[in-house]
Amino acid sequence: MIEGIPIYHFLIVSTIMFFVGVCGFIIRRNLITMLMAVELILNSVNINFVVFNRYLYPDQLQGHFFTLFIVGVAATEAAVAIALIINIYRRFKSIEVQNVSEMKF
């Protein structure tokens, strides 16, 4: 609990981060940037968990632990995704989405 800062402030920040991430994922056309947008979403979730835990349920640790696991999983996800992006770059000589879409409906 931080004196003088109500929970709403944190939640507004995290919600804005979440939707910036979703918009970024949809609008951006570069694979690395899309990956960064996903990381933004995951970090907004982390803020949510920590803030809920700290402000509403300070006597337990479930939210904190969930956050730690999300950080770990996000790292593995980024590792696999970047490996795949390197593979894409070798095949297509580009990581722009419009160049990497041979399959369409």
Partner 1 sequence: MTIEQFFLMRHELLLILAAIIVLIAELAVSESGKTKIIPFAAGLFALVTAIGFIPAETGTLFGGSFQTSSLTLFMKNVLNLAVLIIFLQSEGWLKKPENSERISEYFILTIVTLVGMNFMISSGDFLMFYLGLETATIPAAALVAFDRLKSHSAEAGIKLILSSALSSGILLFGLSLIYGATGSIYFADIVAKIEPSPIIILAFIFFVAGMGFKISLVPFHFWTADVYEGAPINVTSYLSVVSKGAAAFTFSIIVFKVFGALFEQWQHLVYALAVMTMTIANLFALRQDNIKRFLAFSSIAQAGFILLGILGANEMGMASVVYFVLVYVFTNLGAFGVATSVFNASGIETISGYKSLYKTNPKLSLLMTVALFSLAGIPPVAGFFGKFFLFTSAASRGYYILVLIAVLNATVSLYYYLRVIKSMFIDQTDEPIAAFRSSISMRISLIMCVSGIFVVGFASGIFEYIREISQLFF
CA distances from 37 to 26, 30, 45, 73, 81 (A): 9, 11, 13, 16, 13
Residue with tokens 């956050």: 67
CB of 76 to partner 1, least distance (A): 6
Interface ranges with partner 1 (CB under 8 A): 18, 21-22, 25, 31, 34-35, 38, 41-42, 44-45, 48-49, 52-53, 56-57, 60, 62-63, 65-66, 69-70, 73, 76-77, 80-81, 83-85, 87-88, 91-92, 100-105
Closest CB 27 distance from partner 1, rounded Å: 13
* Helical pair 62-92 and 31-56, crossing angle rounded to 10 deg: 180
